[in-house]
Amino acid sequence: MILHFLRSFILFMAFAPLVYYVIATYCGWSYFHESRRSVRLDSKFTPPISILKPVCGLDREAYENFASFCSLDYPEYEILFGVTDENDPAIPVVEELREAFPRRAIRLLVGAPLLGTSPKMNLLCRLVREAKYGLLVINDSDVRVDTDYLRNAAAPFQDPKVGAVTALFRSITEGDFASDLDAVGVPSDSSASALVAERFGGMDFALGWTMATTKQRLAEIGGFEAMANHHSDDFTLGNEIARNGYRIALMRKPIWMVFPKERLSQFLRHELRWSIMLRNIRPVGYLGLVMTFGLPWAVLAAVATHSFAYLLAYLILRLAMAWTIGVWGLGDLVVRRKIWLVPMRDAVNFFVWVAGFFPSKVQWRGKEYRVKGSYLIPSTPDGVADTALRGAAPATVLSARR
């Protein structure tokens, strides 16, 4: 009796991810099909924009990433780079950028008042205050964009019900194993969950590689000042705006994400950090991810039934989802070339998910923090805490060009 129940439970759990893959594939096909049939962007809707780029250190091909924002097909915008350390290696790159694009409005801001435990949130608080325009587009330093980026980011704001805009991404790597394994994850998997959320009930989160909102919507949720002790600016921003009754919209076109050349251990560490943060933000949702892990349940079903039917179904439906969303929809070249990595990435995701239940501490930018809910708490009174005792270093503007 117990064995019969256990076998039935395994088969049910193995079937659930297959249903999810079919639903996600449909959502991906539907979204990109509708997106490609939609009308052209309204060329008259071009409100001035402030691009905010909090930076810490140098990512791979940093100059090329930054330069992609300097030649956008958009009438009026500015770029604000922000760093916390006056010795940050990104500063000479930004200065080089200013010389290469003398007509582009580029400002470099160094330092930010200490308002909370998250250095990035502190920096964002200052960048928002310094921003010249009411429409804000925030993105990471490893992002690269096409010339129509701002038109795609601004277009959804024609609908007054839209409170924030975010984007999916496609990957650029150097072709090393760890980077490719990292890169296939979001376009072939996490993007699917975003598209399912977008189709059924709407998204209540943003994605950090691009977050656009207005100063007015931001002020309504208390600004980044209210999030200064939180670890996930993208989730918190989107979640709070959605709670206020606004819609989170997806850009029609994905951005590019430039992945670093990394070791497998580095990849696993940041995956574990994200898992710990996600578990603390959404514990029920994190537990529910077990219903989307097709590979381990298919293996157990193969053992229980002495048949490879579930494994075959897993491979067909999982790769169909990865191809539909990652290759056909997003045009991700890494997924196209390395789609065989998808089952391997699924295996890694499962083991990292299990590991994410146990620790409560993360390493972030060289410092250790304890994660509690959406809050980031320094483990020891160094770094951020020391600065709090001494008083924040004065925020300065090293350079400005308007």
Other CB atoms closer than 10 Å to residue 93's CB: what's the count? 18
Task: Render pLDDT for 264-304 as a digit per residue (tens, 0 to 9).
Answer: 999 999 899 989 988 988 899 899 999 999 999 999 999 99
Inter-residue contact 232 to 148 (CB < 8 Å): no
- Into how many domains does the chain fold? 1
Helix extents (H) in 58-189: 62-67, 90-100, 119-130, 149-154, 177-183, 185
101-115, 225-239, 335-349: lowest mean pLDDT where? 225-239
On whether residue 56 sits in a domain, the answer given is yes
Report the alpha-carbon distance of residue 369 to residue 112 in Å, rounded.
20
Task: Render pLDDT for 6-65 as a digit per residue (tens, 0 to 9).
Answer: 989 999 999 999 999 999 999 999 999 888 766 555 668 999 999 999 998 889 899 999
On whether residue 71 sits in a domain, the answer given is yes
Report the alpha-carbon distance of residue 112 to residue 124 in Å, rounded.
9
On whether residue 300 sits in a domain, the answer given is no
Task: Render pLDDT for 318-357 as a digit per residue (tens, 0 to 9).
Answer: 999 999 999 999 999 999 999 999 999 999 999 999 999 9
Report the alpha-carbon distance of residue 24 to residue 38 in Å, rounded.
21
On whether residue 397 sits in a domain, the answer given is yes
Residue 248, domain CATH: 3.90.550.10
Other CB atoms closer than 10 Å to residue 389's CB: what's the count? 7
Q: What is the pLDDT of residue 64?
A: 96
On whether residue 396 sits in a domain, the answer given is yes
Q: Could you tell me the residue range of the domain that residue 208 belongs to? A: 39-262+390-401
Other CB atoms closer than 10 Å to residue 43's CB: what's the count? 9
On whether residue 206 sits in a domain, the answer given is yes
DSSP β-ladder status, 135-138 and 211-214 = antiparallel
Report the alpha-carbon distance of residue 163 to residue 235 in Å, rounded.
14
Amino acid 187 reads P
On whether residue 48 sits in a domain, the answer given is yes
Structure tokens at 151: 């038109």
Q: What is the pLDDT of residue 386?
A: 39
